[in-house]
């Protein structure tokens, strides 16, 4: 009997270290296609509790973190010479949660807004921050303005967070929390590590939602998305026109135009729905447009002369189309090769690509993640920024602090009620 008990206890203990795998049958998230979930996210009626916009006491603020840029940047950057962020405040003392946005996303992007509604409804003050890879952050807050070096990006973020706290000093905060999604989740890990050295916030809990594990894998996967084979594209046909044509056929069939959140979901249920390749192309295009922004902005701020000739006169009236076109030709891989690696070599005295990938990926914080019980990762088995072995890495490193959902694509299920419940539960205990 005693032996049996021992065995039972051993099994119970060892299963504690295993990741929480959410069972597909009871999960109930309706979109099992990863591309569909990434684009359409969660149907409205299946979302967790969220505050309505009009019930949130929120305001945008701005910080002047790099005053010298006001002189060095061209006039048409006037709107991003100071960094904007959004604060949603509760009426009384409450815990505060920082949200770090994903690749290229600013503080007001839809995914960040959606997370804000979730945490605000749960009683947190919420501070929404732009990603270090977004246009506004690069121009207004980033020292190197070359997003990709995760440790440097985390330092910029940390500085922004300290400045936010200084500016919001009348906000009654009972404790600090941190959450990031996509690339922001990777940043959250680095920021948390930094905070454990400097003790500026002493985050109680850090939540990473759909982080990239190996940056090289994520970059290559995203670059590959625009290399899919499309059936109806021959010769000079335009891919955007193809999508718009399908949408307008759908509207004609429905008899009216509705541009609400349910649109994409309904559209994919109709006979006009997009194929996997078309959806992949759409997701890939969004990322490529982001890369074009990053490549252009980074090159311009650092005067590298790869896209904009240094000293080229730019004012409010200057045509930027030639530079846009040049930047569009540069994919993620090209941006890393042309702008990130040279900077990294210069700052850290050489080193190979593999070394750099190790330093900017989650591998760099592996030991930290293993030891730090306040950090949890939530990920999806069908996330397209992951490659083989990435989930294995997360399982080994985080043990039962990894929750793996069977569906959701890349960040598609963040607002789903089961995910929301799990997030809030982790932050609460």
What gap in Å lies between CA 425 and CA 157, rounded to an integer? 26
CB 314 within 8 A of CB 305: no
Stretch that binds another protein, among 165-173, 200-208, 241-249, 366-374 (CB under 8 A): 241-249
User: Which residue, among 401, 400, 404, has the nearest Cα to 390 in the 3D structure?
Assistant: 404
Binding mask 323-342 for another protein (x = CB under 8 A): -xx--xx-------------
Binding mask 122-161 for another protein (x = CB under 8 A): --------x---xxx-------------------------
Q: List the one residue from 29, 35, 85, 119 that touches another protein (CB under 8 A).
A: 35
- Stretch 357-396 residues interacting with another protein (CB under 8 A): 381-384, 386-392, 395
DSSP letter (8 states) at residue 144: S
- Nearest distance from C-beta of residue 349 to another protein, angstroms: 32
What gap in Å lies between CA 145 and CA 66, rounded to an integer? 11
250: Cβ contacts below 8 Å, ≥ 6 apart? 267, 270, 272
What gap in Å lies between CA 36 and CA 245, rounded to an integer? 19
Stretch that binds another protein, among 43-51, 185-193, 245-253, 264-272 (CB under 8 A): 245-253
Angle at which helices 353-360 and 150-167 cross, to 10°: 30
Q: List the one residue from 61, 239, 272, 368 that touches another protein (CB under 8 A).
A: 239
Size of the site for another protein (CB under 8 A): 89
Q: List the one residue from 66, 117, 205, 288 that touches another protein (CB under 8 A).
A: 288
Does 406 help bind another protein (rule: CB under 8 A)? Answer: yes
If one counts every other C-beta atom within 10 angstroms of the C-beta of residue 374, the result is 16
Does 86 help bind another protein (rule: CB under 8 A)? Answer: no
288: Cβ contacts below 8 Å, ≥ 6 apart? 223, 226, 328, 331, 332
Does 252 help bind another protein (rule: CB under 8 A)? Answer: yes
Stretch that binds another protein, among 173-181, 189-197, 251-259, 358-366 (CB under 8 A): 251-259
- Nearest distance from C-beta of residue 192 to another protein, angstroms: 24
**226 burial type by CB count under 10 A (0-12 exposed, 13-18 middle, 19+ buried):** middle
Stretch that binds another protein, among 86-94, 168-176, 265-273, 317-325 (CB under 8 A): 317-325
- Nearest distance from C-beta of residue 238 to another protein, angstroms: 5
- Nearest distance from C-beta of residue 231 to another protein, angstroms: 9
For 209, the token pair is 């939602």
- Nearest distance from C-beta of residue 179 to another protein, angstroms: 20
What gap in Å lies between CA 367 and CA 281, rounded to an integer? 36
Does 26 help bind another protein (rule: CB under 8 A)? Answer: yes
- Stretch 177-236 residues interacting with another protein (CB under 8 A): 221, 224-230, 233, 236
Q: List the one residue from 46, 163, 173, 404 that touches another protein (CB under 8 A).
A: 404
Does 18 help bind another protein (rule: CB under 8 A)? Answer: yes
Q: Which is nearer to another protein, 80 or 126 (CB)?
A: 80
- Stretch 39-78 residues interacting with another protein (CB under 8 A): 54, 76-78
Find residue 202's DSSP bridge partners.
Answer: none
Q: Nearest 10 degrees: CA dihedral of 99, 392, 396, 383?
A: 10
Q: Nearest 10 degrees: CA dihedral of 166, 171, 175, 176?
A: -50
Angle at which helices 321-328 and 276-302 cross, to 10°: 120
């Amino acid at each position: 009997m005693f032996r049996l008990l021992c065995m039972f206890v051993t099994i119970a203990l060892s299963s504690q270290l295993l990741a929480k795998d959410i069972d597909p049958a009871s999960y109930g998230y309706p979109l099992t296609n990863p591309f569909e979930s990434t684009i359409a996210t969660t149907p409205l009626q299946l979302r967790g509790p969220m505050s309505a916009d009009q019930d949130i006491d929120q305001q945008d603020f701005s910080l002047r973190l790099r005053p010298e840029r006001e002189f060095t940047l061209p006039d048409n950057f006037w709107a991003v010479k100071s960094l904007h962020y959004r604060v949603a405040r509760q009426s009384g003392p409450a815990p505060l949660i920082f949200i770090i946005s994903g690749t290229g996303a600013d503080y007001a992007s839809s995914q960040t807004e959606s997370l804000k509604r979730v945490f605000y409804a749960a009683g947190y003050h919420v501070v929404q921050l732009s990603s270090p890879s977004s246009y506004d952050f690069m121009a207004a807050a980033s020292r190197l303005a070359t997003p990709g070096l995760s440790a440097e990006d985390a330092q910029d973020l940390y500085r922004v967070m300290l400045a936010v706290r200084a500016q919001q000093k009348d906000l009654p905060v009972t404790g600090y929390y941190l959450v990031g999604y996509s690339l922001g989740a990777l940043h959250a890990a680095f920021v948390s590590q930094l905070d454990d050295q400097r003790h500026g916030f002493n985050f109680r809990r850090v939540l990473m939602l759909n982080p990239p594990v190996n940056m090289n894998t994520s970059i290559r996967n995203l670059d590959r998305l625009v290399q899919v084979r499309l059936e109806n594209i021959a010769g000079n046909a335009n891919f955007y026109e193809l999508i718009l044509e399908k949408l307008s056929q759908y509207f004609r069939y429905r008899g009216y135009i509705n541009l609400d959140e349910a649109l994409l979901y309904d559209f994919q249920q109709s006979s006009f729905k997009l194929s996997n390749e078309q959806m992949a192309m759409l997701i890939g295009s969004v990322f490529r447009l982001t890369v074009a922004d990053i490549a252009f902005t980074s090159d311009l701020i650092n005067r590298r002369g790869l896209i904009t000739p240094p000293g080229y006169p730019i004012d409010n009236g200057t045509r930027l189309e030639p530079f846009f076109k040049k930047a569009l030709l540069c994919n993620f891989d090209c941006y890393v090769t042309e702008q990130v690696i040279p900077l990294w070599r210069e700052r850290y005295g050489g080193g190979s690509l593999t070394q750099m990938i190790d330093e900017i990926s989650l591998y760099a914080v592996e030991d930290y993640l293993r030891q730090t019980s306040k950090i949890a990762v939530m990920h999806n088995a069908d996330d397209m920024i992951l490659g083989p072995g990435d989930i294995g890495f997360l399982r080994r490193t985080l043990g039962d602090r990894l929750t793996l959902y069977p569906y959701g694509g890349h960040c598609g299920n963040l607002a789903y009620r089961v995910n929301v419940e799990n997030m809030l539960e982790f932050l609460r205990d």
